[in-house]
Amino acid sequence: MNYNDKFSEDTGSFFRSPVREIFKKVDLNAIYSFAGGYPSADTFPLEEIRAAMSEVIDKYGGKAFQYGATQGVPELREAVARRCGTEPSMVQITSSSQQGIDVCTRILVDPGDVVLTSEPSYLGALQSFRSYRADVRGISHSSDIDVYRRNVEEAAMSAVREGKRVKFLYIIPDFQNPSGETLTLEERKMLIRIAEDHDFLIVEDAPYRELRYSGETVESMYSLAPDRVIHLGSFSKIFAPGFRLGWILAHPEILDQIYVCKQSLDLCPPVFDQYVAAEFLDSGRLDANLRKTIDLYREKRDLMLSLLEETMPGNVVWTRPEGGLFLFLTMPEGFDAVKFYDKALSAGVAYVAGEFFYPQRNVKNTMRLNFSFMDRERMNAGIRLLAALLKEELCAE
């Protein structure tokens, strides 16, 4: 039977996550893995979760296992609203913040519409944009704000010149995936101004926002322009990804389309998991655990930075993130991180080649390293191994 003629046109633009493909092939515990965006399992407060689950069963009984409201259970919407300084009516709970990205793309993008994104950018977002046949255009960041502004304006204007509509700018302002970089307040305001000038929306993806280890919190783009910005939050990094819970803050007209769409996507988010998250938030357990997580990750980030300093060849540079889970390495021109990957993996160390994070896959000499997942001993051994391999490679060339 021929299935190829049965599939929709969208499927022609699906592409597989190279990260998830890596995980299918290797046992993460058998290698040194800097590849995933996994939190450390040490940060999951198992006994407190067990207790909260029992409390939820006592408190809600059968209701915790019944169908729930499409927008999310009221208790969690209220807890998220309090945390974000907004009203529950502005909150849609999602079955993961990946779903937040997907549903925004679904309600906003027709094939050929332009989505602007930082370059590099989050792979799962690129997958989603492409799957709806968006015309994804990357924007290079520059520490010179005038250059950065010109890059953004030029991307918006060239789309318009081609008769295309820019639907939104997708951006991770805090501790970006994969670069680890954070936008300044001035940069955020500049982006909002351009979005206003060209009348497109901004999707602010903020899964790492609360994982800050140094420096000062910068206002969210949503708080600067709540009518223009759709804010995506996630419980995956501040609580646990196994619950698959996130949230969207947006203008009621946008939220209403998301709500109707979500009815046909999956009716409602997981109900029991939502009550557990609400219990965790309301009781202060989430914040107490988050403080410990931040302390742990700060140590890990510092350790990785000092290991890189100590071991890497002089022609390798990297970002110094103030939070999040990742930093980004740049090797000299000519280095190909995809080709090098097989060598690294057979030696026992995994990363994600930076090229996958570029919409055009045109930058070959970068890699993303995660510092949250492995413990200190394994991080130490893994970075030393990676550095030794890189030295060998970069000297041989």
Nearest CB to a second copy, comparing residues 122 and 213: 122
> Under 8 Å CB-to-CB from 195, ≥6 apart: which residues?
169, 201, 202, 225, 228
Nearest CB to a second copy, comparing residues 186 and 266: 266
Residue 28, helix vs strand vs coil: coil
Question: Residue 21 Cβ, how far from a second copy at the closest point, in Å?
Answer: 10
Cis before 178? omega within 30: yes
Residue given tokens 């995936």 in the structure block: 177
Cβ atoms of 348 and 385 closer than 8 Å:
yes
Residue 273 interacts with a second copy (CB under 8 A): yes or no: yes
Nearest CB to a second copy, comparing residues 141 and 262: 262
Nearest CB to a second copy, comparing residues 99 and 121: 99
Question: Residue 248 Cβ, how far from a second copy at the closest point, in Å?
Answer: 13
Tokens of 330: 């740049």
Cβ atoms of 249 and 222 closer than 8 Å:
yes
Residue 117 interacts with a second copy (CB under 8 A): yes or no: no
353 backbone dihedrals φ, ψ, rounded to 5°: -60, 135
- Residues touching a second copy, count (CB under 8 A): 82
Nearest CB to a second copy, comparing residues 31 and 390: 31
133, with CB counted inside 10 A (0-12, 13-18, 19+), is middle
Residue given tokens 């060598």 in the structure block: 343
Among 74, 81, 88, 106, binds a second copy (CB under 8 A): 106
Residue 61 interacts with a second copy (CB under 8 A): yes or no: yes
Among 236, 293, 365, 370, binds a second copy (CB under 8 A): 236
Residues 159-218 binding a second copy (CB under 8 A) are 167, 200-201
Residue 267 interacts with a second copy (CB under 8 A): yes or no: yes
216 backbone dihedrals φ, ψ, rounded to 5°: -105, 140
Residues 18-47 binding a second copy (CB under 8 A) are 20, 23-24, 36, 38-39, 41-42, 44, 46
Helices assigned H by DSSP within 199-350: 221-224, 252-266, 271-282, 285-311, 337-347
Nearest CB to a second copy, comparing residues 37 and 323: 37
Among 197, 227, 287, 375, binds a second copy (CB under 8 A): 227
Residue 244 interacts with a second copy (CB under 8 A): yes or no: yes
Cβ atoms of 176 and 354 closer than 8 Å:
no
Residue 219 interacts with a second copy (CB under 8 A): yes or no: no
